[in-house]
Amino acid sequence: MKTPTEPAAPTRAESALTTLMPLAAWCTYAPLGAKYFTWLLATGLAVAVICGQGTWRAAFAATGPRLLLALSLLMWLSALWSVAPAGRLGAHAWTSLLPLSTVLLAQACPAAAARRFLLHFALASGTVGALWWLDHQFGLPDSLLWTSTIDASGNERIASSILLAVGAAMACWLASQAQTPRQRWLAAAFAVLATAGLTAQDRRTGMLLLPLLLLAWALATPRRLETKAMLAVGVLAAAGATWLLSDGVRARFDEGRRELLAYGTSQSPVDTSWGLRLRMAEVTWQMVQERPWTGHGLGSWRLLWTQRVPAGTREADNSTPHNEYLMVATQAGLPAAVLLLGWWLAMAAAAVRAGMVGVPALMIWLTLALAALANAVMRDPKFAVPLWLLAGLCTALMRPPQVPPRSIAG
């Protein structure tokens, strides 16, 4: 007979969600179809768990989830005055729902299962990093096994860069939390391999993210001031050494600097990566200024953009401004951009308050807030699906073990 303090046996949905975690971790680097499948399955199981527990109100009790819910409702409401065609409205309405999965996963997934996910994600990041390094050094044959990583291009390649940076940072945290020397050395090896792959890859986003994530961890977690200062100096020294020792890293950032210096005016031709991002930010800000409080409506950016750039150019091919703050402001006004930033900051603050166990959540929420400045991390599922999965499960890690379900988001 169970005592009053004995935890209830997990339901089938809870057991299935726990069992799914290793596969979900590896699928963050898989082709988009596999990413979508595991995300949908995990979210569906989370809904089943919450329905069984009756914890819907608890899931949205804290500040962060409420800000997200307000943002989603505002984006949907903006469809009423949108200038976009009906087909585009449907796609953007679906995209606006995806972030809600972070709240469901954070509420439904046990902390032990979330930690298991992070262990496998660190292992997957180390494996993918090793493949990148091997391909850079020796060249690897074409294979279906790495079509979404070392053979990827465009946003999928940038998404891999972001995931490698997050994986390396998570592996460092796991090493600091290891119970045995063997676990510590394994986690450290995953971090090294993921970092090696990141420097071998030619995308700059992850290279910028990794030192920022480690610096945030060093400064935000509860330690003595002297220890924080030493860790921060160590992170900066490691970043500096990587800069000095890696010709590829220096070359990529020098290329970006030259692209920005070569940028002209909003009317001059542009076909470089950072130049295009600067052009999109400039023109999109003009859209926001036209209707700063209500925006042009859900899914409107693409239509407004094609009206402002020459047809048949590289500029005209873009479907987002590669800046999520400007994207939501264009559609639902500056209040939507404030809600978006407020949601991410509230979640990051909750992670800081949680102490060491909140470090993974702090890293992923900062990743979203920073990467959103130059990438379509919410609009493009190559970014969004794995990042929403990571955000929900890293937040779930903050749940105290063997207690009745409650809201653990900030």
- Per-residue model confidence as pLDDT tens digits over 46-85: 999 999 999 999 999 999 999 999 999 999 999 999 988 8
CB atoms inside a 10 Å sphere around CB 259: 18
Q: How far is Cα 216 from Cα 214, in angstroms, rounded to an integer? A: 5
Sequence-distant (6+) residues with CB within 8 A of 117 are: 21, 22, 24, 25, 109, 393
Instruction: Please report, as a single letter, which amino acid is at residue 131.
Output: L
3-state SS class at 319: coil
Q: Which residue has the higher pLDDT, 273 or 356?
A: 356
- Nearest-5° angle of CA 189, CA 191, CA 196? 95
| Average pLDDT estimate for 97-107 | 96
Q: What is the pLDDT of residues 288-330, one digit of tens each?
A: 999 999 999 999 999 999 888 877 666 777 889 999 999 999 9
Q: Is the dihedral of CA 267, 273, 275, 281 positive or negative?
A: positive
What is the model's pTM? Answer: 0.91
Q: How far is Cα 14 from Cα 102, in angstroms, rounded to an integer? A: 16
Q: What is the pLDDT of residues 109-151, one digit of tens each?
A: 999 999 999 999 999 999 999 999 999 889 898 887 888 888 8
Q: Taking every pair of C-alpha atoms in the chain, what is the biggest distance, in angstroms? A: 77
**In the chain, what are the domain boundaries?**
12-259+318-396
User: Which residue from 180, 30, 99 is spatially nearest to 395, judged by alpha carbons?
Assistant: 99
